[in-house]
Amino acid sequence: MTGALIVSGGSRGIGAATAICAARQGWDVAINYARDENAAVSVADQVRSFGRRAIIVKGDMCNEEDIQRLFNDTEKELGPLKGLVTSAGTTGKTVRIEDITAEAINKVMQLNVVGLMLCCREAVRRMSTKNGGGGGNIVNLGSAASRLGGPNEFVHYATSKGAVDSFTLGLAREVAGEGVIVNAVSPGMIDTEIHASAGLPNRAVEAVPGIPIRRVGQPEEVAEAIVWLLSKGASYCAGAIIPVTGGR
């Protein structure tokens, strides 16, 4: 299945790699970004280089109005929605639980859980055959942290990704009979700027000894799994959570 695809957080990291990989497979892509317009424009240009259509849409995926505008603009410019990848997310800053604030917890949960759920809500409203849609695919971005727990660094982030896993399983079973196929990808240690944003620029490299494959993953490797889940090749996958972790 191809058509109009929304990639939240599509201007950087795994989201950007997914937008480009999806275009290579025939998707038209709406690239959501929060701050860096130049990065979003660059991704859109790469999407168009494959002969596909692209739009960029600025919006905070913590904000319900911005989320609704993203979906409305996408359908206005690219046609009926057929796919959603929820790659917008944050780790928050590294902190032990005894030192964490309610504000820090809420910031991570609002984007990683509430915003993701609202994006999926908007997708189901448009894609579900129950609601008059033509079906489609949703791929949520989880994390191996949901299994590992993130001790001494990101327990709050790991908790948010555990919620993503649970939501993916529940939503998949809720809408599979309505033509909406929901799955997730669970990346391990991937070479993106998210580590530096959390204040740990060397975190990925330092983790290599604990990764059985003995290297850090690349965003493109996660993107390949995501785009496969969007494809007809994954037509019997529903509620799957695929680890892309190098064996970790």
> What is the DSSP secondary-structure string of 29-80?
EEEEESS-HHHHHHHHHHHHTTT--EEEEE--TT-HHHHHHHHHHHHHHH-S
- Output the pLDDT for position 128: 98
Domain count, the chain: 1
- Output the pLDDT for position 145: 96
Instruction: Based on the residue annotation, tell me whether 157 is a catalytic residue of this protein.
Output: yes
- Output the pLDDT for position 207: 82
CATH code, domain with 232? 3.40.50.720
Distance, C-alpha 148 to centroid of its chain:
19
**Structural domain boundaries enclosing 224:** 4-244
Please report, as a single letter, which amino acid is at residue 21: C
| Catalytic residue of the set 157, 171, 194, 222 | 157
Q: Where are the alpha helices (DSSP H) in 79-218?
A: 102-109, 116-127, 145-148, 155-175, 194-197, 203-206
pTM: 0.95
- Output the pLDDT for position 197: 64
pLDDT averages per 10-residue partition of the chain, 248 residues: 94 98 98 97 98 98 98 98 98 95 98 98 98 98 97 96 98 98 97 69 79 95 98 97 96
